[in-house]
Amino acid sequence: MAEALLVVEGVVKEYGERVRTRALAGVDLALDKGELAALIGPSGSGKSTLLNIIGLLDRPTSGRVVLAGTDTTGLDERALTALRARTLGFVFQFHYLLPAFTALENVMLPAWGDVGLPSRAMREQAQELLRAVGLGDRMGYRTTDLSGGQQQRVAIARALSRRPALVLADEPTGNLDTASADEVFGLMRRFNRESGTTFLVVTHDPRIADRCDRIVEIVDGRVRSDRRGPSR
């Protein structure tokens, strides 16, 4: 077995002060480098919650997350932001692009915001990524002038722009028609194969889940099953 990129140990997440909702009731999960894993489960089972915790956007009530060898438990906001910027990429269900910026600028922003100043290399890499997701002719478009599928492809390009070790995608195809969904998932599959980027994809779509290497199912905040997908 390859070395673990992500280790989630006994993660519990409770929401609310007086009425406590237990969104995660002790999750253990490990992801290896280069895996393309699907995270499935009924609505309200805690998928998004788990993804946000892995994505260092939220902290667990108890348990720990070790990402790329770093135990994130005691880290402050600054350190979390830095770790997030360098190891993680995000794709969300609703295209979380910035409408005030062009497709190219959206892809450049993560690196730009981390380093401070833009560089030629940054721009060239962003252009290359946009060409790779088939949007070479749409780089200067405002994201509001792009279709849903195109926007999601920009989001993938942005998620990959820092060459993250792990990309977290929360229902990336949830809003797309079948053809666009296939196209978007196909891109993730391709980047996974070509560059070895690890993906954790939340999906409700069994066709998509079946095309992953591994399917993790959570129900009521616990891992119910964890199996290798048919594609491997």
Ligand X SMILES: Nc1ncnc2c1ncn2[C@@H]1O[C@H](COP(=O)(O)OP(=O)(O)OP(=O)(O)O)[C@@H](O)[C@H]1O
Binding site for other proteins (CB under 8 A): 48, 52, 55, 57-58, 77-78, 81-82, 84-86, 88, 90, 92, 94, 96-101, 109-110, 112-118, 158, 162
Q: Which stretch binds ligand X (CB under 6 A): 15-23, 26-34, 81-89, 113-121?
A: 15-23
Q: Counting Cβ atoms within 10 Å, is residue 225 exposed (0-12), middle (13-18) or buried (19+)?
A: exposed
**Which amino acid does the sequence have at 86?**
R
Distance (Å, whole) CA 97 – CA 206: 26
Binding residues for ligand X restricted to 22-51, rule: CB under 6 A: 23, 41, 43-49
Interface with Mg ion, residue 48, by CB under 5 A: yes
Our CB check for ligand X shows the closer of 45 and 125 to be 45
Our CB check for other proteins shows the closer of 45 and 214 to be 45
Our CB check for Mg ion shows the closer of 48 and 150 to be 48
For helices 77-87 and 103-115, the axis angle rounded to 10 degrees is: 130
E strands, 33-128, are: 36-40, 62-67, 70-71, 88-91
Interface with ligand X, residue 173, by CB under 6 A: no
Our CB check for ligand X shows the closer of 105 and 205 to be 205
- Minimum distance from residue 96 beta carbon to ligand X (Å): 15
- Minimum distance from residue 135 beta carbon to ligand X (Å): 27
- Minimum distance from residue 94 beta carbon to other proteins (Å): 5
Footprint on this chain of ligand X (rule: CB under 6 A): 15-16, 21, 23, 41, 43-49
